[in-house]
A and B are shown apart, each in its own frame.
Chain A
Amino acid sequence: MKHKEVCTEVAGSVWKLEIGIGAKVREGDILVIVESMKMEIPVTASADGLVVKLLVAEGDVVVEDQPVVLLELLT
């Protein structure tokens, strides 16, 4: 099973988790919304996959390139 970390490209705080563990997602689906400079910045899936782990919780402060979701890749 191949896994992939999806990372936030911007620093900020986690505003909303849009998916839960077990959710099946397609590349481009919004997984997490990070609030950065008062903007709602979506973090999207970089591949088709299954959400196996949420690496952050709502309200967490995040830094650039921090992993936020772990996906199991669906080939």
Chain B
Amino acid sequence: MTWEPELQELKRRQALAKKMGGDERVKRQHDRGLLTVRERIERLLDQDSFQEIGSVAGTAHYDETGELSDFTAANCVFGLGKLDKRKVVVTGDDFTIRGGSADAAIWAKFKMAETMAYEFRIPLIRLVEGSGGGGSVRTLETTGRANLPGGVGTTSGMDLCVRNLAQVPVIAIAQGSVAGLGAARLVASHCSIMVKDTAAVFVAGPPVVERLGETRTKQELGGYKIQTKSGTVDLAVDSEEDAFKAARRFLSYLPNSVWELSARGDIPSDANRADEILLSIVPRDYRKPYQMRTIIESVVDKDSFFELGRNFGSSLITGLARINGWSVALMAGDPYRYAGVWTASSSQKLARFVDLAETFHLPVVHLADCPGFQVGLDAENSGIMRHAVRAITAINQCTVPWCSILVRNIFGVGGGAHQPAGRLSIRYAWPSGRWGSLPLEGGVEAAYSRELAQSDDPEMELRKIEERLGRLRSPFRTAESFLVEEIIDPRDTRRLLCDFTDMAAPLRTPGRVSFGARF
């Protein structure tokens, strides 16, 4: 006598659950160019690694003889699995069952996914679609009373999401329409990813917005162009498959939790690579921009730079990279975008990025080119000083090892914040480095107006004055006073950064940050 009959019953119920919302709804999902939640989990995780939890949770109906007559699975699928051989928790919304909105079974599943990642200190991946467990007006009828959000004995679960942000890597992928609580759960992550053209993320969708007199399509309201530009979503990809790849890639730079350190990747054989282009890439004419991303690619391990938030706060480039196999958080000014000034949005991006580095013990590498904060009325209206000071707060609370390479402009408070103020960091300057409290350009004509007026050849005189001042501003004079430590051959940058990351590695300390997650 065995328990075989019960195993058969289990298999039967699991098979019913795997039907999700039924053939018609599944077909509708596919027709919209979307995968089902079970397909997503299968493709995201390492093959055959998914251990589902709550595989037979759902709403059952029994006939008069007590036999199971009908069964609808809970619209959250979650469990344990492996992502590139690393144990993770994955939770996915099943849009084929009532658009993924609230029903009894899913709350406990949502919460358990969050707490499981927290307690076992492993990464969490959320596959979000629909309202992510948020309410629907229909619930009023099915439960017979109005739902108080956050009412007695209930929870949005956001407390669990928030504490996970300071505990484990959280990655969230949006597909289809993602609204309300679903959007919140998408954004409460270290890396949020949405699929171009098929995903739309918003507080509330077109029908609600229409009532306020605004007519928008889903893409017009919450498409990837809007949400990556607003900074709400970190990354937009071309397909669901690309979303899974991006999730794996993001995770590869991070440890399993804040209690560990990220693993060293392959040790490259070209730590001493010295690309010739670095010697000439920064133009002598300081009005001409150069491609900072070319410099980035030249100094990090080959193809290891993974950019985040490209369309938001674009005067600053941020991303994860490897240098001599070690994971780093890399940031750089983009001279193509507002000369690399700090704007309100780039300040916000900077603060969040430094917090990410601090949370997961990633040394920071900063390729600095910053002429200061943005000035002008638009800047003031955007609250630039408020946002900038918040970014400076993040930098000065940061304890991870930090290395700055002064590539070009370092001016003002923004320029001065290229490294934390209160401790020793590693710093090297390129010969193209130019710095001061304020740039002089534009001020020469005013300051030397008498000399210029008295000259027979004012244009020549202006050039002579600029040349004279230029010699005084030479980085060598700053180096004489040991205000800057060392000017280097730009081609040595990679070698020096590899040195830095080797020195930084033993300094990384696992544990919780002194602040919780901050947004």
Residue interface bits B439-465, CB-to-A below 8 A is 1, else 0: 001100000000000000000000000
| Cβ-defined contact, B371 with A37, below 8 A | yes
Closest A residue to B336 using CB positions: A41
| Cβ-defined contact, B289 with A41, below 8 A | yes
| Cβ-defined contact, B335 with A38, below 8 A | no
The prevalent SS among residues of B at the interface is loop
Closest A residue to B442 using CB positions: A38
Q: Would you list which residues of chain A between 19 and 74 have a CB under 8 Å from chain B? A: 36-41
Residues of A within 8 A of B287 (CB): 38-40
Residues of A within 8 A of B442 (CB): 38
In the bound complex, CA of A35 to CA of B322 (Å): 35
Check if B337 is an interface residue, CB within 8 A of chain A.
yes
Q: Would you list which residues of chain B between 289 and 346 have a CB under 8 Å from chain A? A: 289, 335-339, 341
| Cβ-defined contact, A39 with B441, below 8 A | no
A10-B288 contact, Cβ under 8 Å, with A37-B371, A38-B441: no
| Cβ-defined contact, B288 with A40, below 8 A | yes
The interface size bin for chain A is under 10
In the bound complex, CA of A59 to CA of B19 (Å): 63
Closest A residue to B285 using CB positions: A40
| B289, B335, B371 pick with most chain A CB within 10 angstroms | B289
In the bound complex, CA of A71 to CA of B310 (Å): 27
Interchain nearest-CB distance for B351 vs A (Å): 21
| Cβ-defined contact, B289 with A40, below 8 A | yes
Residue from A10, A38, A40 within 8 A of B337 (CB atoms):
A10
| A9, A36, A37, A38 pick with most chain B CB within 10 angstroms | A37
Interchain nearest-CB distance for A61 vs B (Å): 12
| Cβ-defined contact, B288 with A38, below 8 A | no
Residues of A within 8 A of B441 (CB): 38
In the bound complex, CA of A9 to CA of B336 (Å): 9
Interchain nearest-CB distance for B285 vs A (Å): 8
Residues of B within 8 A of A36 (CB): 338-339
Interchain nearest-CB distance for A30 vs B (Å): 12
In the bound complex, CA of A10 to CA of B335 (Å): 11
In the bound complex, CA of A10 to CA of B289 (Å): 13
Residue interface bits B274-296, CB-to-A below 8 A is 1, else 0: 00000000000001110000000
Closest A residue to B288 using CB positions: A40
In the bound complex, CA of A38 to CA of B341 (Å): 11
Residues of A within 8 A of B374 (CB): 37
In the bound complex, CA of A38 to CA of B374 (Å): 12
Residue interface bits B394-438, CB-to-A below 8 A is 1, else 0: 000000000000000000000000000000000000000000000
Interchain nearest-CB distance for A44 vs B (Å): 11
Q: Would you list which residues of chain B between 337 and 371 have a CB under 8 Å from chain A? A: 337-339, 341, 371
Closest B residue to A42 using CB positions: B289
| Cβ-defined contact, B338 with A37, below 8 A | yes
In the bound complex, CA of A39 to CA of B374 (Å): 13
A10-B371 contact, Cβ under 8 Å, with A38-B287, A39-B288, A40-B288: no
Closest B residue to A15 using CB positions: B287
Residues of A within 8 A of B288 (CB): 39-40
Closest A residue to B311 using CB positions: A9
Closest A residue to B335 using CB positions: A39
Interchain nearest-CB distance for A33 vs B (Å): 10
Interchain nearest-CB distance for B95 vs A (Å): 32
| Cβ-defined contact, A10 with B336, below 8 A | yes
Residues of A within 8 A of B371 (CB): 37
In the bound complex, CA of A36 to CA of B340 (Å): 11
In the bound complex, CA of A40 to CA of B290 (Å): 10
Interchain nearest-CB distance for B24 vs A (Å): 40
Residues of A within 8 A of B336 (CB): 9-10, 39, 41
Closest A residue to B374 using CB positions: A37
Residue interface bits A5-18, CB-to-B below 8 A is 1, else 0: 00001100000000
In the bound complex, CA of A41 to CA of B338 (Å): 9
Residues of B within 8 A of A40 (CB): 287-289
Residues of A within 8 A of B339 (CB): 36-39
In the bound complex, CA of A38 to CA of B289 (Å): 10
Residues of B within 8 A of A39 (CB): 287-289, 335-336, 338-339
Given contacts A10-B336, A36-B338, A40-B288, 11 further A-B contacts (CB under 8 A): A9-B336, A10-B337, A37-B339, A37-B341, A37-B371, A38-B287, A38-B442, A39-B288, A39-B339, A40-B287, A41-B289
Binding site for B on A (CB under 8 A): 9-10, 36-41
25 A-B contacts (beta carbon < 8 Å) = A9-B336, A9-B337, A10-B336, A36-B338, A36-B339, A37-B338, A37-B339, A37-B341, A37-B371, A38-B287, A38-B339, A38-B441, A38-B442, A39-B287, A39-B288, A39-B289, A39-B335, A39-B336, A39-B338, A39-B339, A40-B287, A40-B288, A40-B289, A41-B289, A41-B336
4 nearest A-B residue pairs (beta carbon): A37-B339, A37-B338, A39-B339, A40-B287
